[in-house]
Amino acid sequence: MITVAHTFVATVSAIIHCGAKPILVDVRNDYNMDPDQVERAITPKTKALLPVHLNGRVCEMDRIMALADKYELVVIEDAAQALGATYKGKKTGSFGIAGCFSFYPFKVLGGFGDGGAITTNDPDVARMASLLRYNGEDRETGEYHYHGYTALLDNVQAAVLDVKLRYLPQWIEYRRKIAACYRQGLEGIAELQLPHFSEKHHFDIFQNYVIKTKERDRLREHLKAQGVETLVHWPKPMWRHQGLALEDPHLPETERICEEVISLPMSAETTQEQVEITVQCIREFFAQ
């Protein structure tokens, strides 16, 4: 299965757990799967493509789906960071045979603990996923069809998510507004790359607001000293974690990203005032 190295480890672990071999490719400027590299990585052994819609932006799905057609591959979307994002008006989770979503509290639609969902329009996948989450048991007949998991969305999580789901559209609009404020405040700083890419076909939901700069570590220290918390997704390429036993795929863009990205405060609770403070600190830093 072909996926990107610049993703959360769970994407790759899922491939390992199903007994497949992860083939890691590089991402482009917008942090998403590079279709050219995918095509170069395809061999007769390739079975599936696993694009990751990172930071709330959809991959270039026209080209990825065309590759899947051409080489007869299955597409599964890791949409954990992109609930509600669209590409050419089509929502994440509706391109491939299945889409995977996360309700981990940090995500745009977060539960009170862990949870997730799968979308599919394939009845066989739907049935298998339903059975797997309850140890493979068909609860009407008592027959076990698979060695499954204990992976039900529990009732408390479901209740919390049911209420929060109603607010999702307005939270997405709010995140886009916060992103626009960052853009307005930070545009024009030559040393910074802002996460505003082509919007012709994309509706981004800004799960994260990721900026890129060669001064990342010093900028981060500066922000920390001013009381602004930031995160780095991720500080070390996945294949450098020895326990994961992955080959070094030599992906220069992924390596650079690990050294240069920083995620600014971004959530439905982030206030415009907090954005202004963050912007001011960053401007101050680059003015020095």
Ligand X SMILES: *Cc1c(COP(=O)(O)O)cnc(C)c1O
Residue ranges in contact with ligand X by CB under 6 A: 7-8, 10-11, 52, 78, 80-81, 102, 104, 114, 116
Residue 107 Cβ, how far from ligand X at the closest point, in Å? 6
Q: Concatenate the DSSP letters of all residues of the chain into one string.
A: -EEESSS-HHHHHHHHHTT---EEE-B-TTSSB-HHHHHHH--TT--EEE-B-GGG----HHHHHHHHHHHT-EEEEE-TT-TT-EETTEETTSSSSEEEEE--TTSSS--SS--EEEEES-HHHHHHHHHHTBTTEETTTTEE-S---B----HHHHHHHHHHHTTHHHHHHHHHHHHHHHHHHHTT-TT-B-S----SSEE---SSEEEE-TTHHHHHHHHHHTT---B-S-SS-GGG-GGG-------HHHHHHHHHEEEEP-STT--HHHHHHHHHHHHHHHH-
Task: Give 78 or 204: the residue with its C-beta nearer to ligand X.
Answer: 78
Q: Which residue is nearest to ligand X (CB)?
A: 102
Residue 33 Cβ, how far from ligand X at the closest point, in Å? 12
Task: Give 37 or 81: the residue with its C-beta nearer to ligand X.
Answer: 81
Task: Give 39 or 114: the residue with its C-beta nearer to ligand X.
Answer: 114
Task: Give 202 or 285: the residue with its C-beta nearer to ligand X.
Answer: 202
Task: Give 78 or 255: the residue with its C-beta nearer to ligand X.
Answer: 78
Residue 114 Cβ, how far from ligand X at the closest point, in Å? 6
Residue 274 Cβ, how far from ligand X at the closest point, in Å? 23
Residue 208 Cβ, how far from ligand X at the closest point, in Å? 9
Residue 115 Cβ, how far from ligand X at the closest point, in Å? 7
Task: Give 175 or 181: the residue with its C-beta nearer to ligand X.
Answer: 175
